[in-house]
Amino acid sequence: MSDDRTSVLGFALSVADAALEPVPLDPSQVIAGAPEVSELVLSESDDGRVLRGIWQMTPGVVTDTEADELFVVLSGRATIEFEDGMVLEVGPGDVALLTEGAKTRWTVHETLRKVYQATV
């Protein structure tokens, strides 16, 4: 974050109203639609490996290779398909856990906003 929240012991923020910054999406990851990704990193560990933030994607289909991540969906709906055939349907209030290295295909049906903690 660009303000002083990262230098204090804690803070509170309205996730639904938070302004996110556009994040470039590698065109080779896009399978269908014209999805746009945006994010706000709320905090980062000193070594840069642990990130906490808010992430959003508009409707479309993309592929990804996951980090270790725990997230909670605030709004929207998506289907996450794994290379091994497992499928997760996520929507508001759902919590999900992803494992580093997992190959996934995200189909975002309604703009998805999630709060996450990831180890990269």
Q: How far apart are CA 104 and CA 119, in angstroms?
A: 17
Would you give the DSSP letter of residue 7? G
Domains annotated for the chain, with CATH where assigned, are 4-119 (2.60.120.10)
Q: Say which residues have a Cβ less than 8 Å from residue 71's Cβ, sequence separation at least 6.
A: 55, 95, 96, 98, 114, 115, 116, 117
What are 33's two structure tokens? 């639609």
Which pLDDT tens digit goes with each residue over 19-71?
999 999 999 999 999 999 999 999 999 999 999 999 999 999 999 999 999 99
What is the pTM (predicted TM-score) of this model? 0.90
**CB 34 within 8 Å of CB 73:** no
Contact yes or no for 109/57 (Cβ under 8 A):
no
